[in-house]
Chains A and B, each alone.
Chain A
Amino acid sequence: MFRILKQSLKTGVITETPPDLADAELERIGVELRRTIEARLGRSLAIRQVDAGSCNACELEIHALNNAYYDVERFGVRFVASPRHADALLVTGPVSRHMEMALRRTWRATPAPKFVIAAGSCACTGGEFGVSYASCGAVENVIPVDVKIPGCPPSPLDLLKGLLGALRV
């Protein structure tokens, strides 16, 4: 127990210490995001992430949003386990044809009004994989997309900016 307390205290609150420019920007975007979410949705934005065929690097960066540096939950952004609890779908990857139906069904299970955010170059354009016998390419080829966040993979900061954009559409 003491070891844990010691380490936690020693680490301190890293979230609010902007060590460089990027973090200052993060703070600014985050606060703005928070305001927009409050105005648009009341209190929070519930996101269901769907990997529709990604190489898994996009997932790694979405995960990073939850680390203590970005701590995206403080802005009211939550990742939920079911599309039925979600305001938005965050979709990564080109949509593989084997995931096509699962993605459609997830979209149908999400209550309206709903946003769809395509995250990563693959989700935006098909990226390195494009359209083929195995891939439908961009997410918008399968379900309507509101916002695109390009990048291979998009950095956590790009993702935050994109979420902000999503709420403004």
Chain B
Amino acid sequence: MTGAERIRRFDWLSEYLARLEDEHVIAQHGDALALPPAHRLELDPEDWAPAAKVAAGMGLRHAGLWADCLDDAASTEEGPCIRVQACLEYGGDYLVLQTEVPMSRPLLASQATSYPGVARLERHAHDLTGLELTGQPDGRRWTRHQAWPEDRFPLRSDFPRAGETPGRTPADADYAFTRVQGTGVYEIPVGPVHAGIIEPGHFRFHAMGEDVLQLEERLGYVHKGIEKLAVGRDPAALARLAGRLSGDSSVAHAWAACQAMERATDCIVPPRALALRGLMAERERIANHLGDIGAICNDVGFAFAQVQCARLRELWQRRSLALFGHRLMMDAVVPGGVACDLTDKAIEELQRDHAQMKVAIEPVFDVVEDHPSLDDRLMSTGVLSEADARQLGCTGYVGKASGQGFDLRRDTPYAPYDAVAMDAPLMTEGDVAARVTVRMAEVRNSLRWMDRLLKVLPGGALAVDLPPAEEGAMGLGAIDGWRGEILCFVRFGADGRIARYFPRDPSWFTWPALERLILGNIVPDFPVCNKSVNGSYSGEDL
């Protein structure tokens, strides 16, 4: 993209700034260099909530928020503080709002009143850093259960990585779930250990008869302290950790982390490496969509699709092992490039594979697309309205099935999607069937795209050394994973080591969507609704 086009793309920014001024909000400082490709605006803390309100009024999407404790020896002159950043998106352009509050009085008004989708991100920021969000609609803790006390914050530098409370961690028994009361209303607690082979989390249903009146999710069970573990790592070790944030999105998260580090260090990644990353990301998407399409059908008792899709997925994973060294392509994305290559023979093999897959999916998708008993169960089940999807900021297949067309690969194309364009499906029905249809369309699109990419696969190096990072250098990664937009913030500390890593999985916004789309459905339809969204527990619990 040329410079002129880039400037034109940000044409809404002046409008936003003008509207901010109407609200007496003055951006202290704006720049396009600190976190490219995003613009950054520094705000006073008291302008934090009004800036969100203006943004919501203009229809900007809130793409997430995180807090960064600047409290080590080398912190700012004004003393230790918490820096908070919020990422907004419009028309494919990113804007990062930034403010700082003193550690001694870390008060900041909540943006969740304008953007309900960020409520849990704010609660997470509070539990990990001690940022106090005033006016937060939901003041309860989120990520913290009982592993550390209320007044201690793991991401502060005085908190030891090993923790301060040895011994057994008690169960989290006193979380205040919202109650629904009335004659005939009953509660169903589910989890954290679920009946299937899935991740742990707790669901609290309130139902009347079979109808769900309310669903409340309680996650955080697989909180592994990933943000704390990242501190002090070198870039290669961070990529390894990022690849294990949510194993089903290993390529996408590792890529997002590497992209953030590469942007922070102005690293020029070789085109061949970028193309191979794209190829692996699409392979990851296809594997997950195949697995999920089968599992969704299985949840309504249609085993045929499950058996067929699982078969195709297995073949696909075996090919990943043979050509990329790992069934899930873990550790194939490394800072500065990739750790694997494709020989000419492998490329031919892949092309053959893609051709076979294109043929193999059709009879299966044909049945899934049009089968009376499937239609009966999947259509009009679990409807997420366009308004809800927009308000929560859903991306990926959840957004695309509910009228939110945003796709990073098309709307903010990064290499290799800038050279080989990617198409994205869009539907408005918002039901389970629409999410399945979007996923099938994405499988077909990705297969076509990979073939086009292979035809123009650049030669050259596979990786370069990551240039040394300056202390304080920041980078923002944005990658379209199979679940949707992944954001990743990285700040370097001394000696080129990581001081802050925050990965924002798309699940942060689709988990709340599940709470909405299940309303009015029957309890037995919960598994299929849940699977059609398939939020990552590990990716959100961190």
Partners in one complex: yes
From 49 to 67 in chain A, residues with beta carbon under 8 angstroms from any chain B beta carbon are: 49-64, 66-67
Cβ contact within 8 Å between B367 and A98: no
For residue B159, CB closer than 8 A to chain A, the reply is yes
Q: Which residues of B contact A50 (CB under 8 A)?
A: 193, 200
Cβ contact within 8 Å between B192 and A153: no
Cβ contact within 8 Å between B328 and A129: no
User: How many of chain B's residues touch chain A, expressed as a range?
Assistant: 35 or more
CA distance A106 to B195 in the complex (A): 12
Cβ contact within 8 Å between B308 and A7: yes
For residue B105, CB closer than 8 A to chain A, the reply is no
CA distance A61 to B374 in the complex (A): 27
CA distance A66 to B314 in the complex (A): 11
Cβ contact within 8 Å between A68 and B311: yes
Cβ contact within 8 Å between B220 and A56: no
Cβ contact within 8 Å between B244 and A59: no
Cβ contact within 8 Å between A67 and B193: no
Check A99/B222 contact, CB under 8 A, given A50-B193, A55-B246: yes
Cβ contact within 8 Å between A54 and B222: yes
Q: What is the chain A residue whose CB lies nearest that of B302?
A: A4
Check A133/B168 contact, CB under 8 A, given A64-B317, A99-B221: no
From 144 to 166 in chain A, residues with beta carbon under 8 angstroms from any chain B beta carbon are: 152-153, 155
Cβ contact within 8 Å between B250 and A57: yes
For residue B538, CB closer than 8 A to chain A, the reply is yes
Q: Which residues of B contact A155 (CB under 8 A)?
A: 321, 327
Nearest Cβ on chain A to B254's Cβ, whole angstroms: 12
CA distance A129 to B240 in the complex (A): 11
Cβ contact within 8 Å between B311 and A69: yes
Q: Which residues of A contact B321 (CB under 8 A)?
A: 155
Cβ contact within 8 Å between A49 and B197: yes
CA distance A52 to B330 in the complex (A): 21
Check A60/B328 contact, CB under 8 A, given A7-B363, A14-B311: yes
From 105 to 148 in chain A, residues with beta carbon under 8 angstroms from any chain B beta carbon are: 105-106, 127-136
Q: Which residues of B contact A81 (CB under 8 A)?
A: 195-196
For residue A73, CB closer than 8 A to chain B, the reply is no
Cβ contact within 8 Å between B197 and A62: yes
Nearest Cβ on chain A to B309's Cβ, whole angstroms: 9
For residue B449, CB closer than 8 A to chain A, the reply is no
How would residues 268 to 309 of chain B score, 1 for a CB under 8 Å from any chain A CB and 0 otherwise? 000000000000000000000001000000000000100110
For residue A30, CB closer than 8 A to chain B, the reply is no
Which residue from B163, B193, B198, B244 sits with its C-beta under 8 Å from A134?
B163
Which residue from A54, A57, A82, A128 sits with its C-beta under 8 Å from B328?
A57
Cβ contact within 8 Å between B330 and A51: no
CA distance A6 to B363 in the complex (A): 9
From 1 to 58 in chain A, residues with beta carbon under 8 angstroms from any chain B beta carbon are: 3-4, 6-8, 10-11, 14, 49-58
CA distance A105 to B170 in the complex (A): 11
Cβ contact within 8 Å between A100 and B168: yes
From 226 to 269 in chain B, residues with beta carbon under 8 angstroms from any chain A beta carbon are: 226, 228-229, 240-241, 244-248, 250
Cβ contact within 8 Å between A98 and B172: yes
Cβ contact within 8 Å between A61 and B229: no
Which residue from B199, B228, B364 sits with its C-beta under 8 Å from A59?
B199
For residue B59, CB closer than 8 A to chain A, the reply is no
Nearest Cβ on chain B to A16's Cβ, whole angstroms: 14
Which residue from B159, B221, B304 sits with its C-beta under 8 Å from A98?
B221
Q: What is the chain B residue whose CB lies nearest that of A5?
A: B304
Q: Which residues of B contact A11 (CB under 8 A)?
A: 308, 311
Which residue from B163, B195, B308, B366 sits with its C-beta under 8 Å from A132?
B163
How would residues 71 to 106 of chain A score, 1 for a CB under 8 Å from any chain B CB and 0 otherwise? 000000001011100000000011011111110011
Cβ contact within 8 Å between B330 and A134: no
Q: Which residues of B contact A82 (CB under 8 A)?
A: 195
Best-buried of B170, B200, B308 by chain A (most CB within 10 Å): B200
For residue B145, CB closer than 8 A to chain A, the reply is yes
Nearest Cβ on chain A to B395's Cβ, whole angstroms: 20
Cβ contact within 8 Å between A60 and B247: yes
CA distance A105 to B367 in the complex (A): 43
Q: Which residues of A contact B452 (CB under 8 A)?
A: none
Q: Which residues of B contact A7 (CB under 8 A)?
A: 304, 308, 363-364, 367
Q: Which residues of B contact A79 (CB under 8 A)?
A: 196-197
Which residue from A8, A55, A60, A93 sits with its C-beta under 8 Å from B304?
A8
CA distance A89 to B517 in the complex (A): 34
Cβ contact within 8 Å between A67 and B310: yes
Nearest Cβ on chain A to B372's Cβ, whole angstroms: 10
Q: What is the chain A residue whose CB lies nearest that of B148?
A: A133
Cβ contact within 8 Å between B163 and A60: no
Cβ contact within 8 Å between B248 and A57: yes
Nearest Cβ on chain A to B426's Cβ, whole angstroms: 27
Nearest Cβ on chain A to B120's Cβ, whole angstroms: 16
Q: Which residues of B contact A130 (CB under 8 A)?
A: 229
For residue B224, CB closer than 8 A to chain A, the reply is yes
Q: Which residues of A contact B250 (CB under 8 A)?
A: 57
Q: Which residues of B contact A63 (CB under 8 A)?
A: 197, 291, 310
Cβ contact within 8 Å between A51 and B148: no
How would residues 308 to 344 of chain B score, 1 for a CB under 8 Å from any chain A CB and 0 otherwise? 1011011001000100000110100000000000000
Best-buried of A52, A133, A155 by chain B (most CB within 10 Å): A133
Check A102/B193 contact, CB under 8 A, given A59-B198, A63-B291: yes
Q: What is the chain B residue whose CB lies nearest that of A90?
A: B197
17 of the cross-chain contacts (CB-CB < 8 Å) are A7-B363, A8-B304, A50-B193, A57-B247, A64-B313, A64-B317, A67-B311, A98-B223, A102-B221, A129-B225, A131-B162, A132-B162, A132-B224, A134-B223, A135-B225, A153-B327, A155-B327
Residues of A within 8 A of B (CB): 3-4, 6-8, 10-11, 14, 49-64, 66-69, 79, 81-83, 93-94, 96-102, 105-106, 127-136, 152-153, 155
18 more contacts with CB within 8 A, not counting A49-B197, A132-B161, A134-B147, are: A4-B304, A54-B247, A55-B245, A55-B246, A57-B247, A57-B248, A57-B330, A62-B197, A68-B310, A97-B169, A97-B223, A98-B222, A99-B222, A132-B163, A132-B229, A133-B160, A133-B162, A133-B164
Residues of B within 8 A of A (CB): 145-148, 154, 159-165, 168-172, 192-193, 195-200, 220-226, 228-229, 240-241, 244-248, 250, 291, 304, 307-308, 310-311, 313-314, 317, 321, 327-328, 330, 363-364, 366-367, 536-538, 541
CB-based closest 9 A-B pairs:
A57-B247, A133-B163, A134-B225, A81-B195, A97-B147, A67-B310, A101-B171, A55-B247, A97-B169
